[in-house]
Chain A
């Protein structure tokens, strides 16, 4: 849900339901890396309600697009973390197996 001005699309607050610090802090990090962003932050109005308000103010581009780009960036970062992790675990397992075989061949 976007709360903003109809005339000025560059600043608005996005209210997300069923979200908390997990997504909001990560999105705030990726938003900050975007050079188009002038200000960004998030707040949780009340801890009992599952709502998060993300405020985005940009240097001219519509805030919705900037937020979408930040979320896409976050998705790509996660994908990269996943592939790097899988490769590292497979390499670790392969080296462990090699050591195991070496230990056995010493006997």
Chain B
């Protein structure tokens, strides 16, 4: 019998991987105790000895990439990315959370604070309030710059609770935008004709065309900042600057952004009758459904695999494997919840641009 290489055997597909290896390469199998096959086969020569090319060229990437938008509202977005690798998807997620810039209150000038909340705690709370300002219209403020109309937004909060009146709740709608800059005067050794303030606005911000139609303010009007009892008052000025989430989470533009891989639920054998009904009942999100086969027979089918949350109820406590839970390694279901300043589709585009800029920076450094 002449020796035949295993790869030339009649039932081995040529140029493609055998089925069990294809599952290992493209799917994460979630067993009852832990997932397996989680390692990505990135190396282009991983299957070179079998004559299979594992590389992803730019052309094949561009041809195979598909994006489908499932839901798009003012604040949230859900979309699918098919044909992309986990490293890129994770890079976009990390940039969305930590490196897309926003505006948030950074410096708080306290004039009077007789409320029960200490100054620093009040300032911390003010920093976390999401502002409705497009960071692209502003520049970064570094230590040596003077605060001016191009890098600072000034807000004022002046509330007091009169003696004899009930307790007052200070909500975020009390933060008033001061388009003309700071109104607090700095102490100067020589009394000059016009005292300096803490910002140097050369022109009022509402005379600038960008802010003419859309006045700056807080995104949500009903955030509780503080509570005042009778006789207590707050008077402060808050300066908002541009920053990124890496420095402080208040500058993160997303409430959160996450992705999950597309679930794939495979029935390893036919499940009929009572077993089928038991299986359908086990799943809390109705992944399975009953299909009526002729003569009153019932068969279990996978109706909605996308809803699978990997609770593993269907594979727990079963003697023989009936169901296999898998995840597709190249199909990501992204969900972006914006904190409000920037719409989610703009956020994602900005995140991709930032990754491009990072590459550009490294290329320039290398040249």
- Set A14, A25, A75, A96: member contacting B91, Cβ < 8 A: A25
Residues in A whose Cβ lies below 8 Å from that of B345: 85, 89
Q: Is the CB of A81 within 8 A of B84?
A: yes
- Given contacts A33-B55, A77-B88, A85 and B352 within 8 Å (CB-CB): yes
Q: Does B45 contact A (CB under 8 A)?
A: yes
Q: Is the CB of A32 within 8 A of B43?
A: yes
Q: Does B57 contact A (CB under 8 A)?
A: yes
From A14, A25, A67, A81, name the one whose CB has the most chain B CB atoms within 10 angstroms: A81
What range describes how many residues of B lie at the interface? Answer: 35 or more
Nearest-CB residue, chain B, relative to A14: B366
Residues in B whose Cβ lies below 8 Å from that of A89: 69, 72, 345
Q: Count contacts on A: residues with CB < 8 A to the other chain.
A: 41
Q: Is the interface of A mostly helix, strand, loop or mixed?
A: helix
Q: Does B349 contact A (CB under 8 A)?
A: yes
Residues in B whose Cβ lies below 8 Å from that of A44: none
Q: Is the CB of B367 within 8 A of A35?
A: no
Q: Is the CB of A26 within 8 A of B42?
A: no
Nearest-CB residue, chain B, relative to A36: B44
- Given contacts A68-B363, A71-B359, A22 and B352 within 8 Å (CB-CB): no
Distance (whole angstroms) from the CB of A35 to the closest CB of chain B: 6
Q: Does B241 contact A (CB under 8 A)?
A: no
Q: Is the CB of B358 within 8 A of A22?
A: yes
Q: Does A98 contact B (CB under 8 A)?
A: no
Residues in B whose Cβ lies below 8 Å from that of A9: none
- Given contacts A25-B91, A71-B362, A82 and B45 within 8 Å (CB-CB): no
Q: Does B256 contact A (CB under 8 A)?
A: no
- Contact flags A1-36 to B (C-beta < 8 A → 1, else 0): 010000000000010100111110111110011110
- Set B72, B79, B355: member contacting A22, Cβ < 8 A: B355
Knowing that A23-B355, A33-B44, A75-B363 touch, tell me 14 more A-B residue pairs with CB under 8 angstroms.
A20-B94, A26-B88, A27-B362, A29-B40, A32-B42, A71-B366, A77-B58, A77-B88, A80-B65, A81-B65, A81-B88, A86-B349, A88-B67, A88-B69
Interchain Cβ contacts under 8 Å between A and B, 24 examples: A16-B365, A21-B94, A23-B355, A26-B91, A27-B362, A28-B87, A29-B42, A29-B85, A35-B55, A68-B366, A68-B367, A71-B366, A72-B359, A72-B363, A73-B58, A74-B355, A75-B363, A78-B356, A81-B352, A84-B66, A85-B67, A85-B345, A85-B352, A89-B72
Q: Which residues of B contact A (CB under 8 A)?
A: 40, 42-45, 55-58, 61-62, 65-69, 72, 79, 81, 84-85, 87-88, 90-91, 94-95, 99, 345, 348-349, 352-353, 355-356, 358-360, 362-363, 365-367
Q: Which residues of A contact B (CB under 8 A)?
A: 2, 14, 16, 19-23, 25-29, 32-35, 37, 64, 67-68, 71-82, 84-86, 88-89, 92-93, 96
